[in-house]
Amino acid sequence: MQPRLNQMEPNEVSVNLEDIMSNPRVSINHDVPEERMEIEYERPVVLHQLQNVSQNAFEEEKQEVWTIEKEYNDLKSAREDLKFANFKTVPGGYYTSKSKKTISYQCGFKANCKAKRKLEIYSNEYVIIITNNIDHGECQSSNVDSRELRKMMKTNATAKSIVETLGLANDKKTIKSIVNKKQYEKKKTNESHKINNEDELITWCQEHILPVSEIIQSPQKAFVVGYNIESDFYCVCITTYSLVNEFIQYFRLSNCPQLIQLDGTYRLMTNNYILLVLGCQDFSGLFHPITLCVTSNENSRAYKFLLETTGNLLSELNCELEPHFVMSDGAKSISLALDEFFNQDTEYTKINV
């Protein structure tokens, strides 16, 4: 039985861009499940008239008048302008139709700010930003250069001193936001991933490396698959025989192509260590982890170490890590690790989600 993988087709542009630029009025009707959206474009005004919408989230948008703020010849410039203006994407605010892709943005500084922007992508060579004509209001004065803010985040300056230096609003929300950003920057610079005692960690890893005969007798017992500990980098891979054997038996019995998934996650441990996960997904949609890796850096070196240790363990259990499909979020570190781990003779398909 072959797994059915549905890959997203690239958006097709069915709108004649010359008509949009030349005609004073172009009407486009979109049929969307559970709602019908009729949008009229009138240069320079864009009116969004939402009909028969039951969700409360769209009630306020019915009364808003949207206008074209700026037109672009490339998508990158439009995204940079939105980021510089401190706008962030709205969760779930992605809409795709036959003619365009729309991404909704909101003020990234204050939650109660009603200023909104929408990025409408017709093609890689024609992108527009539309606005609901509401300024940032009180938070507009706090819209400082994000580059200066990032520089101060990497220093030892406190949140209060950053607020005073940049002239930000001195309230609890602003200070909390700065504290969260400083913690994120701290993770990126690995200041929170230092090992207090390398010898103790090495000793612990050596004590938990078990022979194959012992892990088979204790299938639920966690053991160390492999470790690499240095002063500025470390990886510790762990798993159980039950998890690995489940992966082996599933693909042997189902006789289907081998598919693995890779990703990293944060905020699961008190010491802010990064956790890399390698696993697979069955036909019912359930995810099954194979090996886990606690590491100091989410880079290609860490992902390659996870693949190598997992592959060596599977070889000892008379199974090979030869996936037909590899699913990930398309991160550069994962792609580099896959290219370094698998030789040119290994054919597999990358699925970026």
- Provide the number of structural domains found in the chain: 3
15-19, 51-55, 177-181, 303-307: which range is least confident on average?
Answer: 51-55
Same domain, 247 and 266: yes
Quote the pLDDT of residue 222: 93
Quote the pLDDT of residue 310: 93
Evaluate whether residue 12 is within a structural domain: no
User: What is the domain-level CATH number for residue 275?
Assistant: 3.30.420
Among residues 161, 188, 215, the one where a domain terminates is 188
Same domain, 334 and 223: yes
DSSP-assigned letters across all residues of 227-262: EEE-SS-EEEEEE-HHHHHHHHHHHHHHT---EEEE
- Cβ(235)–Cβ(306) under 8 Å? yes
Alpha carbon 336 to chain centroid, angstroms: 17
CA distance 275 to 292: 7
Same domain, 90 and 232: no
Q: Name residues whose C-beta falls within 8 Å of residue 94's C-beta, 6 or more positions apart in sequence.
A: 101, 102, 103, 104
CA distance 97 to 11: 8
298 φψ region: left (φ > 0), alpha (ψ -120 to 50), beta (else)? beta
* pLDDT reading at 21 higher than 70: no
Evaluate whether residue 246 is within a structural domain: yes
Same domain, 222 and 178: no
Sign, Cα dihedral of 130, 132, 134, 136: negative
254 CB neighbour count, 10 Å cutoff: 12
Evaluate whether residue 125 is within a structural domain: yes
Same domain, 157 and 257: no
Same domain, 49 and 102: yes
Q: Give 218's DSSP letter.
A: S
Same domain, 245 and 296: yes
Same domain, 208 and 344: yes
Range of the domain at 160: 144-188
Evaluate whether residue 237 is within a structural domain: yes
Same domain, 73 and 175: no
Evaluate whether residue 151 is within a structural domain: yes
Q: What is the pTM of this model?
A: 0.48
Among residues 94, 114, 137, the one where a domain terminates is 137
Same domain, 231 and 105: no
Evaluate whether residue 262 is within a structural domain: yes
Evaluate whether residue 312 is within a structural domain: yes
Same domain, 222 and 339: yes
pLDDT digits (tens, 9 = 90+) for 91-112: 878 888 888 889 999 887 776 7
Evaluate whether residue 10 is within a structural domain: no
Rank 57-61, 262-266, 288-292 by mean pLDDT and report only the highest. Answer: 288-292
Identity of residue 49: Q
Bigger pLDDT: 34 vs 61: 61
* pLDDT reading at 191 higher than 70: no
311 CB neighbour count, 10 Å cutoff: 16
Same domain, 289 and 318: yes
Tokens of 32: 């969307």
**Which of 76, 142, 78, 131 has its CA nearest to residue 108?**
142
pLDDT digits (tens, 9 = 90+) for 250-260: 888 877 788 89
For residue 179, give Cα distances in angstroms to 161, 168, 230, 303, 346: 12, 14, 30, 29, 46
pLDDT digits (tens, 9 = 90+) for 210-262: 998 899 999 999 999 999 998 788 899 999 999 999 998 888 887 778 889 99
Tokens of 253: 């019995």
